[in-house]
Amino acid sequence: MNVASHPAGVVVFVTAANRSRLSRDAKAGRAMRLAAGVYALAATLPAEAVAKHHRLAVIAHFWPGAVLSGRTALAGTAPVGGWMYVSHPNPARLTPVSLPGFRVAVEVGPGPLPGDMLMPSGLALSGRARKLVENVHPQGRPANRRAGTAAVEDAIDELARTGGTGAVTAVLAELEVVASSFDHRLVEAVRARLVAVLGTKTINVSSARLKARLGGIPFDDHRVEMLAGLIQFLQTRSPEPRPVLGSPGRWTWLPFFEAYFSNFIEGTEFGVDEARRIALEGEVPEGRPADAHDVAATYRLASDPADRCRRATSEDDLLDVLRSQHGTLMAARPDKRPGQFKELQNYAGGYQFVAPELVEGTLRRGFAAMAVLVDAFARAVAMMALITECHPFDDGNGRLARLMANAELTAAGEMRIVVPTVYRNNYLISLSGFSNRSGIGESLTSVLAFAQRWVAAIDWATFEGAKAQLEACNAFVDPGVGDATGQRLRLPPGP
């Protein structure tokens, strides 16, 4: 692509030969002034976007061979908080350069060192060990170009999470190479934390993430942050309790249809009459004993008076309940390691769930964060999101998430949530939206609220009566067919 055709245009620096022309072009609107002596030609983007696009070329103009360092190196190469920071051993200019949207500050410091990454325009980016030293602070707190010790500890936790002890050991070796170029107190602060991760030193740290790792229970900070956003949203939502009303007989067949639909969503498909015989009469179809067990076990957990309302009361209890319920759910599938947390990373459509070593810590942190929620429906939504994001087991996570969410509702005497076949895409899209941060859970909350409202409107007293109502509501329609033909989940007509 021709550089001149880029919407950010081309950057031009003032010389004696072009000074007058650039000044005239700027006044005429043919050039965009980015800083003293710096212009962009043929740019069509807003000034801040143009300056961000050309930032490396501008830095190299004022400080040739500079190193992107400090906060900038820790966060990447984009401005953070309106600033970029660079180091240069002999800067010709010491005052910051102001550009639209951010400023660039220089500090006298080492030029490129072993481990630094080469960047365009002849610049470099601080390497893994160097950027840790540049951001740690003698008193621990952030200070202008330094992100602070807690941020460095978070970076070390991320290093250990993504690269394991091998990556930590490698950074320790890199630290030894660059150590002589920095204050020994800062170098020792970083070394102590890296060594602590390897288990050969005990140290007090301020980062919650690194503290949890050193304590043997690391967690996924990103997922905990996501859940915190959801919880904050749920706290702003007015509770709409849906208590279980009417005689107990009205709800006789709800556990069966809950189990039937929960398994159908996961691909364990039986005709509803066959599923009835499996769940209630113990029939085992030839060639499908494990599938039959999945349906029967889900029904047992959804119908048992104790299991259906078995909600966790503490972090330890959450782990125990999850293992126990999963053990029952997956008992017929020993290859899925019933009742044992996953040891291998799992995915859905390329989306990566919480890493195996972070599952326990994330579940604990997430459950603790839920303590502020009193409304049963809000707790059900949060529990659904927590278990889905963690995906703590090799298989059965969706069914388990729905059972655990419903336990929160049943324990409070409120209506359970069932996701019928035709509503599957709505449900999965709302979960995907939460996972991909397209909102903070509004869609998930809305989808689950409608599913609960729908359950409350059905008369589950008899099998044939409930089945007829479900058919009239399009509940059994394949979601793909439903989307193509406009058949949506409908509420049954009122009395």
Amino acid at 473: C
Tokens of 88: 């240069």
Contact status, residue 66 vs residue 72, Cβ threshold 8 Å: no
User: How many other β-carbons are positioned within 10 Å of the β-carbon of residue 27?
Assistant: 10
C-alpha to C-alpha distance for 165 and 322, rounded to whole angstroms: 30
Q: Are residues 116 and 206 in the same domain?
A: no
In a domain, 494, yes or no: no
In a domain, 323, yes or no: yes
User: In this structure, what CATH number is given to the domain that contains residue 307?
Assistant: 1.10.3290.10
In a domain, 303, yes or no: yes
Please, which contacts does 39-43 make with residues 24 or more away whose CB atoms are closer than 8 Å?
39/11, 39/12, 39/13, 39/14, 40/8, 40/9, 40/10, 40/11, 40/12, 41/4, 41/9, 41/10, 41/12, 42/4, 42/5, 42/9, 42/10, 43/7, 43/8, 43/9
Q: Are residues 93 and 142 in the same domain?
A: no
DSSP 8-state code for residue 120 = G
In a domain, 362, yes or no: yes
- List the Cα angle 275/312/243 in 5-degree steps: 65
C-alpha to C-alpha distance for 127 and 119, rounded to whole angstroms: 12
In a domain, 491, yes or no: no
Tokens of 352: 């990566």
Q: Are residues 149 and 122 in the same domain?
A: no
Given a cut of 70, the residues of the chain with pLDDT beneath it are 1-4, 140, 494-495
- Total number of domains in the chain: 4
Tokens of 263: 């398994």
Q: Are residues 273 and 173 in the same domain?
A: no
Q: Are residues 348 and 225 in the same domain?
A: yes
Domain range enclosing 136: 128-215
Per-residue model confidence (pLDDT) at position 140? 63
Q: Are residues 142 and 80 in the same domain?
A: no
Cβ neighbours of residue 106 closer than 8 Å, sequence gap 6 or more: 62, 63, 66, 85, 86, 87, 88, 91, 93, 94, 96
C-alpha to C-alpha distance for 125 and 377, rounded to whole angstroms: 48
Per-residue model confidence (pLDDT) at position 3? 45
CB-side neighbour CA atoms (13 Å) of 208: 9
Q: Are residues 81 and 209 in the same domain?
A: no
Angle between helices 442-457 and 376-390 (to 10 degrees): 120
Per-residue model confidence (pLDDT) at position 138? 81
Q: Are residues 44 and 81 in the same domain?
A: no
Contact status, residue 409 vs residue 380, Cβ threshold 8 Å: yes
Per-residue model confidence (pLDDT) at position 344? 96
Per-residue model confidence (pLDDT) at position 495? 55
C-alpha to C-alpha distance for 110 and 105, rounded to whole angstroms: 15
In a domain, 490, yes or no: no
C-alpha to C-alpha distance for 60 and 66, rounded to whole angstroms: 7
Name the domain boundary from 126, 142, 176: 126
CA nearest neighbour of 266 among 348, 321, 327 = 348
CA nearest neighbour of 386 among 225, 237, 192, 244 = 225
CA nearest neighbour of 77 among 64, 87, 86 = 86
Per-residue model confidence (pLDDT) at position 433? 94
Contact status, residue 26 vs residue 33, Cβ threshold 8 Å: yes
User: Mind listing the pLDDT tens digit for each residue in 272-290?
Assistant: 999 999 999 999 999 999 9
Q: Is the dihedral of CA 42, 46, 52, 55 positive or negative?
A: positive
User: Mind listing the pLDDT tens digit for each residue in 248-263?
Assistant: 999 999 999 999 999 9
Per-residue model confidence (pLDDT) at position 2? 46
Amino acid at 189: A
Q: Are residues 305 and 165 in the same domain?
A: no
**Secondary element (H or E) of residue 456:** helix 442-457
Q: Are residues 175 and 193 in the same domain?
A: yes
Question: What residues does 86 pair with on adjacent strands?
Answer: 68, 106
In a domain, 495, yes or no: no
Q: Are residues 428 and 315 in the same domain?
A: yes
Four-CA torsion 218, 223, 228, 229, nearest 10 degrees: 160
Question: What residues does 97 pair with on adjacent strands?
Answer: 104
User: Mind listing the pLDDT tens digit for each residue in 180-202?
Assistant: 999 999 999 999 999 999 987 78
Name the domain boundary from 126, 141, 160: 126
Name the domain boundary from 77, 105, 126: 126
CA nearest neighbour of 256 among 451, 447, 427, 461 = 461
Q: Are residues 36 and 75 in the same domain?
A: no
Per-residue model confidence (pLDDT) at position 1? 37
Amino acid at 420: P
In a domain, 97, yes or no: yes
Determine phi and psi for 24, rounding to 5 degrees. -65, -40
User: Mind listing the pLDDT tens digit for each residue in 29-46?
Assistant: 999 999 999 999 999 999
- Tell me the CA end-to-end span of the chain in Å, nearest whole number: 67
